[in-house]
Amino acid sequence: MDVEKIRGDFPVLKEKLKGKPIVYLDNACMSLRPARVVEAMNEYYFKYPGCAGRSIHKFGEMVSEHYEAARNRIAKFIGAKEKKEIVFTRNTTEGINLVANTFDFKSGDVVITSDREHNSNLLPWQLAAKRKGVKHEIVFSAPDMTFDLAEFECKVKTAGDKLKLVAIVHTSNLDGYTIPIKEVIEIAHNAGAVVLVDGAQSVPHKKVDVRKLGIDFLAFSGHKMLGPSGIGALYGRYDVLEKLGSFMVGGDTVKDTTYDEHTELPPPEKFEAGLQNYASAMGLAAAAEYLEKIGLDKVEKHDTKLNEIITNGIKDIKGMSIIGPADPKLRSGIISFNIKGMFPHDIAIMLDDVANIMVRSGAHCMHSWFNAHAIRGSVRASLYLYNTQKEAELFIEKLKEISQLA
């Protein structure tokens, strides 16, 4: 992978702040965008700025064609069988809420999640518990912070035929750990349950093939995979997608209406209410194309290689504790840590201040995990394809200097 060439595709990386280059290590929150993604969005605004699926004039036809081509590109990117299995959403959060709100739950049905869920895959199930009487079970990680398959199997057995859905994070935004998704899906399917995968951190960084893995639902966001913000996708295997009830309704979700009734369209239209974020759909498709050209296997290897360099470089800093499995190979491109005697926000501010090193600090929308472990938060550095070994080394050097202040 030619990282220098890749960097040339990202205009913001040519910028300097206070005379110094930018070291962007907050990719788990939001990735940067290559020029091609912004160009694809501009093409919509400059060349065919109409609405899809309605107007029969040329702009209408052009945007419909490009919008469906974008859907097709995303379907291919994740190995879906048909483009009609892709619902455009605003983000991962909306995809998960869509399923949580429309799945045909009965009181007493069980949903299993893990102890390492982002709020976006926790709160929807807490609400489902309150509103629909769903029982929400949590699988706790093993002491070494890997996924406890035995504990999961035990929870599945206990739930019996009440288990309807396993809603689980694939790669954690807390520590970068990726669960053994194939095994989890096999166990869930053998128990007759459907699996919803939170792919917000996996889809941008590794090849996720929904059919090879047997995923029923997959939610992910554009802005973490070089795409625009405000767009994401929910994949649903068509037979399970068809069983969901209505979510948001209105223009474009129906075939016909009277003052009293309406006839809804099938998915995906049924779930895409109102005029859509066409420009961002084009941008997302361009991002998927860009990643495919580079190769997600190469991206994954690159992330892990830099994580190994950083982990080895910082692990002996006095008072250092890294969250997650000790082996960086198990933590993809994320290093989440604390230094005893220092506040995460202070470390983040100093890294930004001394060398434009941008990291995230706080609870990373995982307050539940931090509260359960009585930890206030962490500093999180997260890598992507445009990060360099030189940047990793600068991060180590500056963190070592800052740690002297503890």
Residues binding ligand PLP (CB under 6 A) = 28, 91-93, 118, 120-121, 169, 173, 198, 200-201, 221, 365
Which C-beta is closer to ligand PLP: that of 94 or that of 216? Answer: 94
Angle between helices 389-403 and 296-314 (to 10 degrees): 30
Instruction: Please state the closest distance from residue 125 (CB atom) to ligand PLP, in A.
Output: 13
Which of 108, 126, 119 lies closest to 174 in space, CA to CA? Answer: 119
Shortest Å distance, C-beta 62 to ligand PLP: 29
3-state secondary structure of 302: helix
Question: CB of 286 within 8 A of CB of 40?
Answer: yes
Contact 22, 215 (CB under 8 A): no
Q: How far is the CB of 243 from ligand PLP (least distance, A)?
A: 23
Residue with the two structure tokens 């291919």: 76
Q: Of the listed 29, 51, 154, 365, which one is catalytic? A: 365
131-148 exposure pattern, b = at least 16 Cβ within 10 A, e = fewer: ebebbbbbbebeeebbbb
Given a contact cutoff of 8 angstroms between Cβ atoms, the answer to whether 342 and 357 are in contact is: no
How would you classify residue 44: left for phi > 0, otherwise alpha for psi between -120 and 50, otherwise beta?
Answer: alpha
Kindly tell me which of 121 and 280 has the beta carbon lying closer to ligand PLP. 121
CA 38 to CA 285: how far, in whole Å? 11
Q: Which is nearer to ligand PLP, 93 or 387 (CB)?
A: 93
Q: How far is the CB of 93 from ligand PLP (least distance, A)?
A: 3
Least CB distance from residue 221 to ligand PLP, whole Å? 3
Which residue's CB is nearer to ligand PLP, number 63 or number 226?
Answer: 226
Q: Between the CA atoms of 281, 286, 290 and 291, what dihedral angle is there, to the nearest 10 degrees?
A: 10
Task: CB nearer to ligand PLP: give 92 or 378.
Answer: 92
Instruction: Establish whether 29 is a catalytic residue.
Output: no
Between 171 and 403, whose beta carbon lies closer to ligand PLP?
171
Angle between the N-to-C axes of helices 92-102 and 123-132, in degrees from 0 to 180, rounded to the nearest 10: 20
Q: How far is the CB of 28 from ligand PLP (least distance, A)?
A: 6
Using alpha carbons, list the distances in angstroms from residue 98 to 26, 111, 125, 356.
Answer: 27, 15, 12, 38
Q: Which residues are catalytic?
A: 365
